[in-house]
Amino acid sequence: MDNIYFIGFMGTGKTTISKLIADHLNMKWTDLDDMIQQKEKKTVVEIFRENGEEYFRNLEKEVLKDVAGKGGYVVSTGGGIVIVDENVKIMKESGLIITLVASPDVIYVRLKDDQSRPLLQVPNPLDEIKRLMYERAPFYIKGDIIIDTSFDEPEIIVGEILKEIEKRKNGKGTC
């Protein structure tokens, strides 16, 4: 089986949901941010602070290419991976893209105390969430499946995703 990529804004549940999907489908799971941190031996916050966002995005593309070449993975991506067109192309060519979405207010509540989110270390994080979500919306809608995670429990969301994946396997959906 090809890879399954989870994209979406930070705080939409990509890590939680992708791990559960990997378990259900008996696939390997990985998180691109974890791979980057292992490669650089620094946190994402340190990479952003010391080297900038462009450097981070280049690392992200490198690890994505590595995973795309392997297959059989469920991949949790960073929220900004979609801003690089080549990344979306790599994911489309090597698997299924599942976009997780949630309302800005829900994301704010989920992330308000999380200091590991470099793009939210600003005076008004809710406004920044709204701005970034608006900016990235044209990229996030490129997912093959789009699921709102605002209010349902992870098990319900996983069930919805598994149904959508099954539809695609049986030729009832498009990839």
Query: Nearest Cα to 148, choosing from 166, 164, 127?
Result: 164
Q: Is 33 annotated as a binding residue?
A: yes
pLDDT at residue 117 greater than cutoff 90: no
Q: Is 131 annotated as a binding residue?
A: no
Decide: 37 and 45 in contact? Cβ < 8 Å.
no
Q: Is 13 annotated as a binding residue?
A: yes
Q: What is the mean pLDDT of the chain?
A: 92
In this prediction, residue 57 carries a pLDDT of 93
Strand partners, 73: 28
pLDDT at residue 175 greater than cutoff 50: no
Strand partners, 98: 6, 145
Q: Is 15 annotated as a binding residue?
A: yes
For residue 172, what pLDDT band results from cuts at 50, 70 and 90?
low
Extended beta strands in the chain, E state: 3-8, 28-31, 73-76, 95-101, 145-148
Decide: 129 and 37 in contact? Cβ < 8 Å.
no
Compute the radius of gyration of the chain from its Cα atoms: 16
Q: Average the pLDDT over 105-124 and give the result.
A: 84
For residue 116, what pLDDT band results from cuts at 50, 70 and 90?
confident
Q: Average the pLDDT over 11-31 and give the result.
A: 96
Q: Is 16 annotated as a binding residue?
A: yes
CATH for 3-169, among 3.10.129.10, 3.40.50.300, 3.30.70.270, 1.10.240.10? 3.40.50.300
In this prediction, residue 173 carries a pLDDT of 56
- Give domain limits for the chain: 3-169
Q: Average the pLDDT over 109-117 and give the result.
A: 84
From CA 20, how far away is CA 127, in angstroms rounded?
31
SS3 93: helix
Q: What is the pTM of this model?
A: 0.90
